[in-house]
Structure 1
Amino acid sequence: MNKYLTGAVPVALIAAVPLMAALVVAPVTSPAAGEELAITQCDQGGAQVQPTGAWRVPTSQRYVITSGFGPRPSPGGIGSTYHEGVDIAMLPDPGSVLAAAAGKVKVAGPYGGLGNAVVLDNGGGISTTYGHMAKLDPAMHVGATVTIGQHLGLEGSTGNSTGNHLHFGVAINNKYINPIPFMQQHKAPLNGQAVAPSPPRHTGPPAPPTPPGGEGGIGFPLPLPGKDRRQSLNTPPIVIPSAIKGFYVKAANRYKLPWTLLAGIGMEETAHGMDLGVSSAGARGVMQFMPATWSVYGVDGDGDGIADINDNADSIMTAANYLTKLGVTSGPAGVKKAIFGYNHADWYVNDVLYYAHAYGGGTVLGDPTDCGSGGDGNPDLPPISDKRIKKVLGWAKDHLGDGYVMGANGPNTWDCSSFAMAAYAQVGITMPRTASAQRDWLAAGNGFKVPADKAKPGDLIFFDSYLGPNKIGHVEMVFNPAGHQAIGARNPKDGVTLSDYGYDITHKHLFEIWRVGQVSDHPSKTGQTTTTN
């Protein structure tokens, strides 16, 4: 855990501000203040990202159903002619398979014609099946407890399959039924739309983090390469020199990336330093940076105080810095966009991903439904009402003293982002699960950035922490701006506490305060809400 998340401000100083005094919000007098707008969803390929309930579709991406339930011709001459589920093909590329509901793992591994599969016992005689996956999440083992939306594996084509897709089945008392009407009845229609992370559960034990150390347990595997490749078609990956691999691992640990992604770029660019010639365009070093790019992003990777474009440690550390600046942790699309930013060619992206998977692939610590860092928010949103702010902060105050566990979703143990998410859920606002995705959700049009000296109670405070210097990794809520007082799930030592964010303003690499607009998942029919104080 980052040393700046240790809550070093003396509790006595924090407690000097009366709790209820901090809940006093300036009266809202404008008639427009009561206007309530619907949440702006992230645009993921033109699909609206919808909030979820107790059930969800088993992917966060857009998708198409390529084969329905029941009798059918045997595809490609293989497999059953009676289909005990539906086939889902994710768009634009294979992606993560997610649990459609909470349950316990009954099967995890090879499962006949379904190849790599997971079967969940969802309770009440209901079970769900997820087949043909390329690989399973390491956390999948028989008896494991799974929460709704948890990562199960990566869409693939194992077993009796003719192409990448997910076989999704639903059974009641061991009899398979058509998943389409079942999911419709459970308010999770299989309509091809992308679906946002599920809100935190308020009952049951906290979910363990998956992958270990990931905020909210949210991560996603490196996306698979597409078909358009060049160098990797004829040049297989070579053994990585031990010193170079050490630099890959060191940079990956600092910027929280799979080291294999850096290895993929290193293999594509110079075969891990085997060819260190200056390119025809003037790119230099093991990771081939142009001097102009280096002047902006170059960092010291070996601690000698100099960022040298020709130094292997510096070059590899700079590649990690550059990729995170380009948004590599913003979902599978963010990975591809970042690699494309490194070299503007689709074949280059696919080559790098091919090599990365050849070296073992890996998990990116990020939110697969992150909107990405673009957008300035919407400063024209009507202000959130006093009544709603008081409810948000009143709920938060009632949970002072709760515990902190990375990946926990309540009811009395949280991490930073699940706590903020749950607080705003009290007033009907569903935001994404991780701190970075919450900030990007606001930037997409659900709020706007405010200067630190203009902060108001209920504003969200974001700064970098364990995810590295280029990524928002922590969130709290402004409680009393006059004293720089925040409330949130701060760290394992302090749990849910009041703290002073004045230190963070000047000491964090990233520090931002954003205000949620007067938005709701379910706006009133009249477009007005009560704004009593």
Structure 2
Amino acid sequence: MKKLVVGLTMVLAILTAVPLLAAFMVVVVASPAAGEELKAQDCQGGSTVATGPWRVPTAQKYTITSGFGPRMSPGGIGSTNHQGVDLAMLPQPGSVLAASAGKVKVAGPYGGLGNAVVLDNGSGITTVYGHMAQLDPAMKVGATVTLGQRLGLEGSTGNSTGNHLHFGVAINGTFTDPIPFMTQHGAPLNGQAVAPTPPPAKTPSVGPPTPPPWKSPLGGKSPTDPGVPVKDPGGEGGIGFPLPAPGEPRKDSLHNPPLSIPDAIKADYVRAANKYKIPWTLLAGIGMEETGHGRNNHSSSAGAQGLMQFMPATWATYGVDGDGDGKAIITNDADSAMSAANYLTASGVTKGEAGVKRAIFAYNHASWYVNDVLYYAAKYGGGEVLGDPTDCGTGVGDGNPQLPPLTNERVKKLLTWAEGHLGDGYVMGANGPNTWDCSSFSSAAYRQLGITMPRTAGAQQAWLAAGNGFRVSPGDAKPGDLIFYDSYLGPNVIGHVEMVFDPAKHQAIGAQSPKIGVTMSDYSYNMKTKHIFEIWRVGNISDKGKKTM
């Protein structure tokens, strides 16, 4: 069969060819005015993403309570020549993170700085982190620390009048103002939350990228050619966030301490957590709150049954087989634990800390219940949720269909950039410039248009649903649209994103997997087989649009 050789030039020609407008034209509606770029809507509590070798030393929002240089000594204690800046995390003390990779020079009591860590970051640069409540066990002199690694917990040790982090930067032994230094290094201390940095890949799956010979859109049988459907990517990696701390009010956990977990029950929790990619301790928190891990496993007065206390009506929708016998039985412990994981992920547990709380609240509509479960989960060891700490909402709905879509000129710029990166490598958690995972690639592509999206695929879809785009049917897909579907995070969570390149051929471009990197793929397979498959169109927006929506 003769191969088709149709690249981006052909697709873009189609975009502007009058006879074929019906097939590929990116339509711009009359109101607002054609070509007008509207202002993008931020996610609530949104966080930026660190993409360089330096980052802010916390993932939370914060305020600067004291600057660099001469100052009045607070409370009559501490230095009057302040050799750093003081950051107070909001709304409560949080993790202190390494602002850059380095080796530990000091770990422990350090004069007026109390519990402190000092890192040698190379090139004569040293960073100082003081007043911590406690240091992480890995903080030992001589240990290697990666960018964004947790050093300890913000506190008020040493000469301090309240919880804060003293953050200092020295160059060749002389302290300098961290504010201009961090700005110059791409990590401004502006008070904004900055998402946790993913740990570095242990072994890069793809070496230095060399773009392979490529023909577009279909044909050929090489691994990088779209003639071979990509059945499932390796996942996006991206970022995660810790389970939120319990708040107030609490109820049962005030007088019922966490009980030991029987081995068989813990195995059920772990099995379910592994499948749905959530911390097993969250399931343990629910199991403790509901039945004491099966010790009080009887039907409630409301009719809830089993280890995790499901109502039969809820079970009919969310009950799944947990022990592999092909049946979902409400009183079976393995089935009950697996179904709880199914329900939590379907309720949005991966959508930031607010999503965790919403999902637990959906399980039992009471604030005290949410805090009880989080209290028990913390006592069992806490853990990290694979998701985006940004709260972009639930992702439910079809967005704003009244938005004008991207102009043809912006689509051309978007896809030209994407096509120029064919053959780039794939590493989970990578942020470029020539190695990506799926969501960092899509967000980088849209940054070429002055549009900043959240870091992970699930948060990008929720951001669109919150008013920055609108959902379209697969049959109405246009070049530049974003495709989302479930992947490595389980059937209820979006785990992959790619961009439509040629909708007539079901052709997409994106960072696909460690084996094949950035390539073209045929999305028709996933359209037929995925539990979640959605196509969204980004509105004609920008970070600094002419009009506020």
Q: Which amino acid aligns with 2:465?
A: A
Distance 1:220 1:15, change over 3 A: farther
The equivalent of 1:488 in structure 2 is 510
TM-score by length of 1: 0.81
Aligned-pair identity (%): 61
Unaligned runs of 5+ in 1: 1-11, 201-205, 528-533
The answer as to 2:533 corresponding to 1:511 is yes
Following superposition, the deviation at residue 34 of structure 1 comes to 1.1
Alignment counterpart, residue 26 of structure 1, candidates 7, 15, 40 = 15
Residues 408 and 418, structure 1, Cα contact 8 Å, conserved in 2: yes
SS in 1 for 2:403: coil
Distance 1:116 1:13, change over 3 A: farther
CA distance in 1, matches of 2:295, 2:322: 20
CA distance in 2, matches of 1:443, 1:412: 29
Instruction: Give the 5 Å matches for 1:51-450.
Output: 57-65=56-64, 70-73=71-74, 84-98=83-97, 100=99, 102-106=100-104, 110=108, 112=110, 113-115=113-115, 117=117, 119=119, 121=121, 125=125, 127=127, 129=129, 132=132, 136=136, 142-146=143-147, 150=148, 152=150, 155-157=153-155, 159-160=157-158, 165-176=164-175, 179=178, 192-194=191-193, 207-208=200-201, 215-374=236-395, 376-450=398-472
Residues 450 and 515, structure 1, Cα contact 8 Å, conserved in 2: yes
Following superposition, the deviation at residue 216 of structure 1 comes to 4.1
Residues 221 and 364, structure 1, Cα contact 8 Å, conserved in 2: yes
CA distance in 2, matches of 1:467, 1:138: 29
SS in 2 for 1:438: helix
Following superposition, the deviation at residue 166 of structure 1 comes to 4.0
CA distance in 2, matches of 1:429, 1:105: 36
Higher mean alpha-carbon deviation, 64-73 vs 293-302, is at 64-73
**Cα RMSD after superposing both structures:** 3.7
The equivalent of 2:43 in structure 1 is 42
Residues 60 and 368, structure 1, Cα contact 8 Å, conserved in 2: no
Higher mean alpha-carbon deviation, 429-438 vs 508-517, is at 429-438
Following superposition, the deviation at residue 57 of structure 1 comes to 4.4
Distance 1:145 1:250, change over 3 A: same
Residues 114 and 167, structure 1, Cα contact 8 Å, conserved in 2: no
Unaligned runs of 5+ in 2: 17-26, 206-233
The equivalent of 2:495 in structure 1 is 473
CA distance in 2, matches of 1:344, 1:92: 24
Residues 332-380 of structure 1: CA deviation (Å, up to 9, x unaligned): 2222222222223333222222221222211111111141324532222
Following superposition, the deviation at residue 483 of structure 1 comes to 0.5
CA distance in 2, matches of 1:222, 1:163: 25
Residues 47 and 192, structure 2, Cα contact 8 Å, conserved in 1: yes
CA distance in 2, matches of 1:208, 1:356: 28
CA distance in 1, matches of 2:297, 2:107: 43
Distance 1:30 1:509, change over 3 A: closer
Residues 132 and 158, structure 1, Cα contact 8 Å, conserved in 2: yes
User: Which one has the largest radius of gyration?
Assistant: 2
Distance 1:184 1:504, change over 3 A: closer
Distance 1:154 1:424, change over 3 A: farther
Higher mean alpha-carbon deviation, 328-337 vs 262-271, is at 328-337
TM-score by length of 2: 0.79
Q: Which amino acid aligns with 1:336?
A: K
Residues 472 and 537, structure 2, Cα contact 8 Å, conserved in 1: yes
Residues 134 and 158, structure 1, Cα contact 8 Å, conserved in 2: no
Higher mean alpha-carbon deviation, 135-144 vs 402-411, is at 135-144
SS in 2 for 1:33: coil
CA distance in 2, matches of 1:131, 1:334: 31
Higher mean alpha-carbon deviation, 24-33 vs 356-365, is at 24-33
Residues 120 and 128, structure 1, Cα contact 8 Å, conserved in 2: no
Residues 98 and 145, structure 2, Cα contact 8 Å, conserved in 1: no
The equivalent of 1:6 in structure 2 is none
Residues 300-330 of structure 1: CA deviation (Å, up to 9, x unaligned): 1112222211110111111111111221111
The equivalent of 1:531 in structure 2 is none
- Number of aligned residue pairs: give it: 499
Distance 1:51 1:284, change over 3 A: closer
Residues 286 and 315, structure 1, Cα contact 8 Å, conserved in 2: yes
Q: Which amino acid aligns with 1:115?
A: N
CA distance in 1, matches of 2:130, 2:494: 33
